[in-house]
């Protein structure tokens, strides 16, 4: 157990990796109508009444302007076999939706097929959070399945819920 006073960002990030999270892909539409999305481990439930959820968007992220300022977004909670999708939506590439089956949901945001749960949100508020923006959404529509294992993220690695590393490659076919 290492004690560190006033940790630098890299050391802080390593320690924060002790907190296992699920993984979400947050999606929306750019002003020109093109779909966009990014991988986020910062998703959290916030309030049941009213129904609010949040995630944190990095201020340097290219998609911040779309995500934090557009009127709607969708949070897609990934399944254990969707680590490939988590990687793809975190990469700097123009085709993050390649091979991803999705449909336009409420307010036209992409709803990812096969996700454990999806929360289609209306933007509720943004707050400054240091080098991130806290983005709060009001859940307008949800879908979820009660069977299926989550994709987890722990100490910088994707896990499949059993403590094993999640498969790096896509295992199932389907999708466009």
Ligand X SMILES: Cc1cc2nc3c(=O)[nH]c(=O)nc-3n(C[C@H](O)[C@H](O)[C@H](O)COP(=O)(O)O)c2cc1C
Residues at the interface with ligand X (CB under 6 A): 23, 38-42, 55-58, 61-63, 89-90, 92, 153
Smallest distance, Å, CB 81 to ligand X? 16
CA–CA distance, 29 with 37 (Å, rounded to integer): 8
At closest approach, how far in Å is the CB of 55 from ligand X? 6
The number of C-alpha atoms within 13 Å of 2 and in the hemisphere containing its C-beta is 8
Nearer to ligand X (CB atom), residue 62 or residue 145:
62
What does the alpha-carbon distance between residue 140 and residue 106 come to, in Å, rounded to a whole number?
8
57 versus 121: smaller Cβ distance to ligand X:
57
Between 38 and 74, name the residue whose CB sits nearer to ligand X.
38
> How far is 73 from 129, CA to CA, in rounded Å?
19
Closest separation in Å from C-beta 49 to ligand X:
25
Q: Are 56 and 72 in contact (CB under 8 A)?
A: no
């Amino acid at each position: 157990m290492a004690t560190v006073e006033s940790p630098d960002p890299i050391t802080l990030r390593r320690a924060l990796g002790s907190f296992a999270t699920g993984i979400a892909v947050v999606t929306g539409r750019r002003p020109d109508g093109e779909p966009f999305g990014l991988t986020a481990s910062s998703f959290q439930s916030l309030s049941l009444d009213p129904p609010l959820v949040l995630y944190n968007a990095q201020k340097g992220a290219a998609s911040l302007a779309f995500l934090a300022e557009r009127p709607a977004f969708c949070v897609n909670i990934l399944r254990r076999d969707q680590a490939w999708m988590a990687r793809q939506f975190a990469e700097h590439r123009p085709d993050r939706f390649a091979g991803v089956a999705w449909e336009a949901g409420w307010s036209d945001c992409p709803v990812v097929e096969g996700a454990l749960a999806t929360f289609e949100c209306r933007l509720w508020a943004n707050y400054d959070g240091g080098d991130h923006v806290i983005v709060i959404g009001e859940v307008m529509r949800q879908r979820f399945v009660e069977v299926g294992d989550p994709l987890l993220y722990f100490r910088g690695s994707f896990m499949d819920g059993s403590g094993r590393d999640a498969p790096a490659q896509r295992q199932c076919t389907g999708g466009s």
